[in-house]
Structure 1
Amino acid sequence: MSGAGGRRAERLSAFAQRHGALVALLLTVLTASVSFDSFADAGNLKNLAVSSAFLAIVALGMTFVIVSGGIDLSVGSVFVLGGVLAAWGSRYGPVAALALPLAVCGGIGLVNGLLVARLRLAPFIVTLATMLGARGLMLNLTDEGAETYLVAKGSLFADLGRGTVLGIGVPVWITVALFLLGGLLLRRTRFGQNVYAVGGNEDAASLMGASVARTKVAVYILSGLLAGLAGALNAAWLASGVTILGQGMELEAISAVVIGGTLLSGGMGFVSGSLVGVLLLKVIQNVINQIGSLDSAYQQVVSGAFLVLVVIVQTWLGRRRRARLTTPG
């Protein structure tokens, strides 16, 4: 292959890696808007945006974890625990409703980070254990799920979930702000550089002066905090700490992050891509609901198939890139 052809192929591969999900999202939205009159309805789009916000916040934390070379299976259980704690704490005011889930869920993230970074345990096993532990704690707080804590609908805390600014739900604005901050943190700070370096090669990152252990602990704390915050906002939106939520959310978050262009092996990823991945999954789910004749289980089938396809494409692009880098001339 000529030099110009090789550079063109490299640019196409990079474009597919970073913007493929965005192209798929735009095509899906266009097709759905043409096929279903109710899809482009303002009410449907507003509900779609708000319902996407909670998963997006969880996916933001997952992005940092996966870019660093880890995985966090506990976020679904931490999400529902955060919602229950927020609903319980809302009786003492909005500060308690936010501080309690952030403190507990951030603590779970700290435990994950210390076990992974200091004791060098496998992230899969560690976060699987804390997933079970967080859900067990939630069940203990709610008498095995029999008790549901309510959020007063007229309270300031409830406005965080149900209020609007310029006609757009407050959770959407919070999500946008968090993604802007997350993008700056990952791309424009020394910490973000360390996250990429640790995910790419821990030994090389250590030689560069990056604190591998500290970086790993930090990304798991961030993941726990964001999952707890998402759960708290969801409780404010639903006006209750629903105990049956969060099951499978960790897989949705991982799917969204990977679909958005982040490599499961670590070292490469984009915050904006994760947001696009969340929107693509939610739009597909919404389209399935629009069809009406398909069972909701098809949402999981489609999401799983989409994830497998993206991983296959990522692997293929990665092998092509490595082959070009190792080819003489």
Structure 2
Amino acid sequence: MTTADVRDPAPQAVGAEEAAVDAPRPAERLSALAQQHGALVTLVLAVLAAALTFEPFLTADNLQNMALSSAFLAVVALGMTFVIVTGGIDLSVGSLFALGGVLAAWGSQYGTAVALLLPLAVCGLIGVLNGVLIARSRLAPFIVTLAAMLGARGLLLAVTDEGSQTYLVDKSTFFAALGQGRLLGVGVPVWIALVLFAAGALVLRRTRFGQYVYAVGGNEDAAALMGAPVARTKITVYTLSGLCAGLAGALNAAWLVSGVTILGSGMELEAISAVVIGGTLLTGGSGFLSGSLVGVLLLKVIQNVINQIGSLDSAYQQVVSGAFLAVVVIAQTWLGRRGRRT
């Protein structure tokens, strides 16, 4: 036997052991699969159950209404996903959604460009202010965005004379067509939401900025040591959240052809629920936009089923959504602990 024959097996054995150590364990794989695809499986089951139970569920009109109502929440959830992945929270999006709608309706009298740019500018500026206070002054996101929520609602009341003034959108304008028009039988807001999600997923998964978002949410101190621009990343994601809320409000105003002042109440909680149900961890560092989109659709299916039942009041939508969110968070926590123990 040669020297080479004696020495060759050892590196192979070491390599096999390293591969075994590096390979994900069954519990870890189960946890990852549940986090990534649990909401999708639940959505498919919910749709099948609703289709078999309620005959009107799969009608074109019902699906169109669900898709449109999902589009506005989805745009808000898009920005919220970036914020939560960094480990933050944004409670101001509901008020910004309402403010964006009112500003868009008011600005529509001066043309489509003003109707779109005005809410984006104002809501984006509030997002910038949120990000600066959180990133530079190191204030708690909960407190900063809660103050922004109250401030945006106050600005809304000031613009609408304490809510007594409702601005209307001319149905013949291009701006109204953005909300009420259809392309290939599907509402234009739905297409806009899908395009934004595709672009957002590309940014989050394939760009350096997306890597910074995950790094900041995973471990802010470690991200700073690696050279990631932590403050700039936080300011950017809160700005993006404000822009998304303002755009969603503008599209909703175009759909309703008016700036309704009472909208947006509780929308921040719906957006957070959709993002978390979709698999994004509230602790940050993990999440994906496709899951948030699934979370939005799942919430809307549940709400639609409650409406189909007819005998249940709309308040049950919040009860079911809250209970479902609690179950998802508990499941995420349990799977995470189980994966760390094994």
Q: TM-score, normalised by structure 2?
A: 0.93
Which amino acid is the alignment partner of residue 297 of structure 2?
A: L
The equivalent residue for 1:218 is: 236
Select the residue among 132, 143, 146 that pairs with 1:128.
146
Q: Which amino acid aligns with 1:245?
A: L
The residue number in structure 2 matching 1:71 is 89
Deviation at 1:6, TM superposition (A): 7.1
Corresponding residue number in structure 2 for 1:160: 178
Displacement over 4 Å in runs of 4+: 2-6
1 CA distance for matches of 2:339 and 2:71? 34
Q: Which amino acid aligns with 2:308?
A: Q
Distance (whole Å) between structure 1 residues aligned to residue 191 and residue 140 of structure 2 = 36
- Identity of matched residues, %: 76
- Is the CA contact 2:168–2:257 (under 8 Å) kept in the aligned structure 1? yes
TM-score scaled by length of structure 1: 0.97
Q: 1-side partners of 2:283 and 2:55: how far apart?
A: 41
1:52 aligns with 2:63: no
Query: Residue 327 of structure 1 corresponds to which residue in structure 2?
Result: none
Superposed CA offset, 1:195-228 (max 9, x none): 0000010111011110000000000000000000
The structure with the largest alpha-carbon Rg is 2
CA distance in 1, matches of 2:144, 2:57: 41
> Residue 307 of structure 2 corresponds to which residue in structure 1?
289
**Displacement after TM superposition at 1:51 (Å):** 0.6
Equivalent pairs, count:
323
Alignment partner of 2:278 out of 251, 260, 276: 260
**Displacement, 1:182?**
0.4
What is the RMSD computed on CA atoms of the aligned residues? Answer: 1.3
Q: Matched residues in 1 for 2:88 and 2:147: separation?
A: 15
Q: 2:32, 2:217 → 1: CA distance?
A: 19
Aligned-pair CA distance for 1:12: 1.6
> Residue by residue, what CA displacement relative to the aligned partner does 1:122-174 show, whole Å, maximum 9, x if unpaired?
00000000000000000000011111000001110000000000000000000
Quick one: which amino acid aligns to residue 48 of structure 1? M
Contact 2:275 2:291 in 1 (8 A): yes
Whether 1:322 and 2:337 are equivalent positions in the alignment is: no
Q: Which amino acid aligns with 2:131?
A: G
AA paired with 1:232?
A
Unaligned runs of at least 5 residues, structure 1: 325-329
Q: Would the aligned equivalents of 2:88 and 2:141 in 1 still touch at CA under 8 Å?
A: yes
Amino acid aligned to 1:91: Q
The residue number in structure 1 matching 2:98 is: 80
Letter in structure 2 aligned against 1:208: M
SS at 1:11's partner residue?
Answer: helix
Q: 2:261 is matched with which residue?
A: 243
What secondary structure, in the 3-state scheme, does the structure 1 residue paired with 2:58 have? coil
* 2:325 corresponding residue in structure 1: 307
Alpha-carbon shift at residue 9 of structure 1 (Å): 2.3
Task: Decide which of 162, 173, 178 is 2:191's aligned counterpart.
Answer: 173
2:277/2:292 contact within 8 Å kept = yes
Identify the residue that residue 245 of structure 2 maps to in structure 1: 227
